[in-house]
Chains A and B, each alone.
Chain A
Amino acid sequence: MSKVLSLGEMVTAVPPGALVSFGGGGMARKPMAAVAALAMSHTPVRLSVFLGGPDVDLMLGAGEVQSLDFAYVGFDLLGLSPNFRRARESGGLPVVEWTEAMYIAGVEAATHHVPFMPTRSGLGVDVLEVPGHPFRRFPCPLTGETLTAVPAIRPDFLFIHATEADRAGNVRITGDGFLDPYLARASGTVFVTADRLVDQLPPDLSEHETTISRLWVTGVAELPRGAAFTAVFPQWPLDYAAAGEYAAHCGDAGWLRDYAAGLATAEPAR
C-alpha cells in the first residue's frame, strides 16, 4: 500500500489549533520544506519541539504559533534564534520550558499510554518556579521520595525529514536520530519527507542508522534537500553560508515570507 502524498496534502491535513511537532534537533535534519509549507498555509498551531532551530524560528516569524513547548531553541554555533527571541521578549507567546530529560519522559509517557512519567529533574531549579508550567512535584507512592511528574506529550502531527523512505512508509535516518523514532510512536499522524523515495530500503543498514516502521507512518513525500540548509548526514553538511544568510535576514517579515514561499513550492514532480 502506497503512502506517498504531496507536501500540499500533508499540510492541508493539519487543522487550526493542532499540536504539531518537528523532528531533528537544532541545525540538524529539520523538515524545513514541510515547515515552510505549513507556515504558508496560514494555519495557527500549537508547537511542541524537543530541540528547536530554524523550524521553530520560521513558524514564529510567520506568526502561526499559538503556544510553544521546548527544551532548547537556537542556531547552535550560529547563535540565538531571532524570531524566538522576538516572540519571547515581547512576552506574548505562551511557552512551557522543558528540560531535555523531562521532554524525553513526556514522550515516553505518551508511548506507554500513561498520563505522566516520574522524573528526578526539576529539583532546585527555576523550571518549576515559573507561571503556567504543567509539572507537579509529588511523593513517590512506593518510597515517599519527592519526584517530578511530567505530562505526556502527544503531538497530533509530527513532521520528520529523513534520508530515505520506501513508498509503504518505512523510514531510514542516517546520522543522529534525535527523538524522531519515539516521537513517531507518540504522535497521532506522522508525515515524513525524504531526500529520496525507494522501492525498498537497503538490507544492510548499519547500527549508526535509525529506522522507523511503516506502522508508525501516515504519509511520505519525496523532497530532495527537504531539510534546506540544515545538516543531513552524510549527504548534506550544514550549509553555513545559507544558514548565516537565514540568521541574518529571518527577522525581516518580507524576506522570511519570500524564503518560505520559495521552499514550500520547491517540490519536484514525482
Chain B
Amino acid sequence: MSGAVGTAGAAGAAGEFTVEEQVISVLAQIYRGQVIAVGATVCADIATRLAKALYAPEIVLMAGGSMAGYDCAATPKALNDEWVASPSSVRGSDWIETFDLISAGKYAICMGPVQVDRTGSCNISVLGDWRRPKVALIGARGIPDDMVRLEELTFHVRRHTPRALVEKVDFRCGLGFGPERDELGLTLGRPGMLVTDLGVFDFDEHGAGLRVRSLHAGVSFEQVQAATGFELLAPSGKLPVTPPPTEAELACIRDEIDPLGVRRLDGPEAGPALLAELAERERELFAIPGARR
C-alpha cells in the first residue's frame, strides 16, 4: 500500500490513512443533489460511492460508467464494474440521454486532467503541438461539452508535479478564468476545486492564479510550490490542514466500497503488475466469470 500520510482525527483511536483515502474524502463533498455523479479517476469514482453511501443517497450512480446500469447502489469498486454494480441498478439508459442530462446541468463530474494551468484551463488531448504531438494522450472526450453545459468542473491530479501543473496547457480541452473567458461571455464550466496528492486548491476568478485552500497532512507550502510549474498565489495567513477522512469514511472506503483496493491504481504503485494483481483478486472477491479462454 502507499505510504500513510496522516492520522484520522476526531475519534482519537483513528489509524493512519493513505493520500488516496484523503483525496476520496475531499472529493466526496462535490456530489450532492439530483445529478449523475461521475468520477474520471479511480479515486473520484470511489468518491461518488462514498458520497452516495454516507451523504447523498439522492445522487445517481452509473454501473462503473455503463449506460446500461443507471441509478445503482454504492457497490464496491471493481475493474469490471458493470458485473458488480449492474444487478443493483434501477434502469438502463444510453449515451443520448446522458448528454441530455448533461445539457440540463444534471451532472457532477470530477475530471482527471494530465495538465492544468494557473488559470484553470485543462488538457487530456496531447502534450506538445497538436499537429505532431510529443505525446498523443486520449483526445478531448467530453470536457469541451461539459464546459458549456455544467456550472462547475472539479479536477483530480494524481501526482502534483511541474509537468502536471503548468504555466499554460499545450491544448485547451477546457477554458480557465481570464480575459478570453470574459470576452466570450462564457459563464459555465468554471474551474472549481483542484485536488492533488499534496493539497486542495482553487482558481482566482479573474485568472490571477492558483490558491492553496488547504495542505494535506505533513505537506508544506514550499513543497507544493516546488512541485508547481508556476508561482502560486501567496497565502494570506497560516494555511489549514486538509480535514482528514473521518473514521466512518475510512471504514466505508476500506470495507464497503473499495475492499479490493482499486484506489491504489491512483497511487505510486500504479502499473501493469498492480493491475494484474487486482484483476486476479477481483475474480475471487466478486465472483466475476473467469476471463481466460
Contact = CB atoms under 8 A, between A and B. Distances in A.
A118 interface: no
B132 A89 contact: yes
Interface string A126-141: 1101110000000000
B226 interface: no
A241 B79 contact: no
B289 interface: yes
Given A123-B186, A231-B82, A88 B175 contact: no
B136 A84 contact: yes
Contact of A77 (B79, B83, B94, B132): B79
Given A74-B138, A99-B141, A182-B96, A238 B79 contact: yes
Nearest to B125: A97
Interface string B200-238: 000000000000000000000000000000000000000
Given A126-B173, A209-B92, A233 B83 contact: yes
Interface in B61-118: 65-69, 79-80, 82-83, 86, 89, 91-92, 94-96, 99, 102-103
A248 B272 contact: yes
Interface string A203-244: 000111110000000000000010001010111111111101
Chain B interface size, under 10 / 10 to 19 / 20 to 34 / 35 or more: 35 or more
B181 A124 contact: yes
Nearest to A238: B80
Contacts of A98: 140
A100 interface: yes
Interface in B269-293: 272, 275-276, 279, 288-289, 291-293
B142 A124 contact: no
A125 B67 contact: no
A178 interface: yes
Contacts of A126: 125, 130, 171-173
A85 B135 contact: yes
A72 B275 CA distance: 22
Nearest to A247: B272
B5 interface: no
Nearest to B271: A79
Contact of A240 (B82, B91, B172, B279): B279
Contacts of A240: 79, 275-276, 279, 291
Contacts of B171: 126
Interface in A93-127: 97-102, 104, 120-127
A144 interface: no
Contacts of A74: 137-139
A124 B291 contact: no
A248 B65 CA distance: 25
Nearest to A206: B92
B133 interface: yes
Contacts of A73: 138-139
Nearest to B286: A237
Interface residues of A, number: 62
> Looking at B68, B272, B275, which has the most chain A CB atoms within 10 Å of its CB?
B68
A212 to B, nearest CB: 12
Contact of B145 (A121, A175, A179): A121
Contacts of B134: 89
B291 A238 contact: yes
Contacts of B173: 125-127
Interface string B128-161: 0011111111111111110111000000000000
A124 B265 CA distance: 32
A98 B174 CA distance: 14
A102 B145 contact: yes
Nearest to A132: B131
A100 B141 contact: yes
A101 to B, nearest CB: 4
B83 A234 contact: yes
B248 interface: no
A242 B138 CA distance: 21
11 contacts: A74-B138, A80-B135, A88-B133, A99-B145, A101-B102, A104-B96, A125-B143, A125-B174, A182-B96, A206-B92, A208-B91
Interface of B: 42, 65-69, 79-80, 82-83, 86, 89, 91-92, 94-96, 99, 102-103, 125-126, 130-145, 147-149, 171-175, 180-181, 184, 186, 265, 272, 275-276, 279, 288-289, 291-293
Which 6 residue pairs spanning A and B have beta carbons closest together?
A91-B132, A88-B136, A240-B279, A101-B145, A124-B175, A208-B92
Given A122-B144, A237-B288, 15 more contacts: A70-B139, A72-B138, A85-B136, A101-B99, A104-B96, A122-B148, A123-B175, A123-B186, A125-B144, A130-B131, A175-B86, A176-B65, A233-B66, A234-B86, A239-B292
Interface of A: 70-74, 77-78, 80, 84-85, 87-91, 97-102, 104, 120-127, 129-131, 174-179, 181-182, 206-210, 225, 229, 231, 233-242, 244, 247-248
